C-alpha cells in the first residue's frame, strides 16, 4: 500500500472496546431513592456494629475503667449517688464501643462513597482514610499519655496539702472521655489541610502566611477543647495543634499545592 492509499483509506470508527473511560469506572447510575436505600443499609450496619461493640465493652467495662483510672494514681473515687457507677459504666462502654466499631463504620462510609469517585480520587481515598485513622488514635494516645496526666498532676498538687483528693467517679470519666475524643478530633487538622490543598481552596503559601492567626487559634482551641483550666494542659494541646498545622503545610507542599 502506497502513502497515497493510506491518505485516502477511510478511517476505522472506534468500537466500544477501543474506548476506555478516563476514570476506569463502569458503575451503573443509581437513582436518588436507590442512594437513600443504600445509605439506610450502611447506617443500619454501622449501628448494629456499634451496638455489638458496646455490649462487648460493657462486659469488660471494669478492665476499661481500671485502664482509664491509671493516670490518677493515688486518688480515691467516690460514688456520690445510687447507681452512679452503673451509669458511668454505660458511658464508658458507649465511648469504647464507638471507638472499637470505628473501623467498621469507616468501612461503611467508604463503601457508600466509593462508587461515585473517579480513579484518581480512589487513589487518594486510601491514604487519606488511613492517615485520618492513624492521627485519631495518635491523638487519643497523646491525650492519655501526656494531657491527662499533666492535668491531673496539676489538680492533685494544687491544694494537695490542704484537701484530701476524693473525686466523683462520674465527673472524672466525663473529664477523661471528653479530653480523649476532643484531642483525637483536633489531630485531624493535617487531613483537613490536605483536602483543602488538593481541592485548590487554600494553597500552602496561604496557609503559611496565616501562621499568627493559627497560633492564636491554637491557644483558643486548647482552652475550649480541654475540660480543665490548667495552663499546662492547654499549652500542650495548643502546641500539638500548631505542630500538626505546620506538618499539614508540609504535606500540602509535597503534593505540589
Question: pLDDT confidence of 8, banded at 50, 70, 90?
Answer: very low
Identify whether 209 is part of a domain.
Answer: yes
Instruction: Check residue 30 and give its pLDDT.
Output: 63
Domain count, the chain: 1
Identify whether 24 is part of a domain.
Answer: no
Identify whether 221 is part of a domain.
Answer: yes
Identify whether 110 is part of a domain.
Answer: yes
Instruction: Check residue 51 and give its pLDDT.
Output: 94
pLDDT per position as a tens digit, 174-188? 888 888 888 888 888
Identify whether 158 is part of a domain.
Answer: yes
Identify whether 5 is part of a domain.
Answer: no
Percent over 90 (pLDDT), the chain: 13
**Contact 191/245 with Cβ under 8 angstroms?**
no
Task: Identify the domain containing residue 103 by its residue range.
Answer: 32-254
Identify whether 97 is part of a domain.
Answer: yes
Question: pLDDT confidence of 226, banded at 50, 70, 90?
Answer: low
The secondary element (H helix, E strand) that includes residue 172 is helix 169-186
- Rank 101-105, 111-115, 137-141 by mean pLDDT and report only the highest: 137-141
Tell whether pTM > 0.85: no
Residue with cell 459504666: 89
**Smallest Cα–Cα separation from 90: which of 25, 14, 28, 174?**
174
Q: Which three three-digit cell numbers place residue 161?
A: 496539702
Identify whether 2 is part of a domain.
Answer: no
Amino acid at each position: 500500500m502506497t502513502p497515497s492509499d493510506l491518505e485516502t483509506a477511510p478511517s476505522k470508527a472506534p468500537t466500544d472496546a477501543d474506548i476506555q473511560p478516563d476514570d476506569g469506572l463502569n458503575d451503573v447510575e443509581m437513582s436518588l431513592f436507590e442512594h437513600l436505600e443504600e445509605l439506610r443499609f450502611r447506617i443500619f450496619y454501622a449501628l448494629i456494629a456499634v451496638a455489638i461493640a458496646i455490649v462487648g465493652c460493657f462486659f469488660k467495662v471494669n478492665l476499661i475503667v481500671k485502664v482509664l483510672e491509671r493516670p490518677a494514681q493515688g486518688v480515691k473515687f467516690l460514688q456520690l449517688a445510687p447507681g452512679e457507677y452503673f451509669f458511668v459504666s454505660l458511658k464508658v462502654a458507649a465511648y469504647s464501643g464507638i471507638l472499637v466499631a470505628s473501623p467498621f463504620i469507616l468501612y461503611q462510609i467508604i463503601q457508600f462513597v466509593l462508587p461515585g469517585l473517579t480513579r484518581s480520587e480512589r487513589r487518594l481515598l486510601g491514604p487519606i482514610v488511613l492517615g485520618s485513622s492513624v492521627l485519631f488514635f495518635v491523638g487519643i494516645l497523646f491525650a492519655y499519655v501526656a494531657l491527662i496526666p499533666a492535668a491531673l498532676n496539676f489538680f492533685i498538687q494544687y491544694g494537695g496539702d490542704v484537701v484530701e483528693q476524693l473525686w466523683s467517679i462520674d465527673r472524672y470519666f466525663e473529664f477523661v472521655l471528653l479530653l480523649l475524643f476532643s484531642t483525637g478530633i483536633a489531630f485531624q487538622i493535617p487531613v483537613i489541610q490536605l483536602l483543602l490543598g488538593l481541592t485548590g481552596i487554600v494553597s500552602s503559601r496561604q496557609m503559611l502566611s496565616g501562621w499568627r492567626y493559627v497560633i492564636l487559634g491554637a491557644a483558643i482551641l486548647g482552652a475550649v477543647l480541654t475540660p480543665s483550666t490548667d495552663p499546662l494542659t492547654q499549652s500542650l494541646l495548643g502546641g500539638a495543634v500548631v505542630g500538626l498545622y505546620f506538618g499539614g503545610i508540609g504535606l500540602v507542599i509535597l503534593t505540589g499545592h
